[in-house]
Structure 1
Amino acid sequence: MRGLVRLIVLAIIVVGGYWAYYVFAAADPNDRFGVAINKYMPDQARQFACDKLKERFGPISAPEGCAAFPSWAGAPAAPQPAAPGASTTSP
């Protein structure tokens, strides 16, 4: 019984540690394991993670699971480039 409890505690520490790494230090906001863990976190923890990712990575597209939070909503889209050969002046 003690072994099972230790295993569960170890699993919680490993998963929580990787989530913290994803939020505070990961080089990629779309890290597949970080995104997968973040999906199963409670809403307040997910919002915290998404806010921190927004602070760290700035104006990028929202990682999976973060688009619904206010910090990612209404992010300015990059302007569309003009078509080649299109004239911008009127005749």
Structure 2
Amino acid sequence: MKVTVEIDCTPVEARQFFGLPDVQPMQGAVMAEVERRMLAEMDRFSPETLMKSWLSFTPQSAEQASELFMNLFNRSFGGGKPQTK
């Protein structure tokens, strides 16, 4: 024997029927806090700020960058000791 029951109700009605708590006020407060924090931290993740933080770890001159890549290339392919000036 197969029995199928179809219940047409909203999520709020289902929660009330099963005696579950109403979490909408708490969810609204949490989402407002998440939004506030995201907006406060948005400046840290702007493209300009990210580029400044990333470029602060790289050599400042083109010659230093070229030397860095040549040393990495030489080490990767067994070209011997890194070159230094």
Q: TM-score range by the shorter chain?
A: 0.3 to 0.5
TM superposition score normalised by structure 1: 0.33
Kindly name which structure, 1 or 2, has the bigger radius of gyration based on alpha carbons.
2
User: Which structure shows the higher helix fraction?
Assistant: 2
TM superposition score normalised by structure 2: 0.35
The higher relative CO (CA closer than 8 Å, separation ≥ 6) is in 1
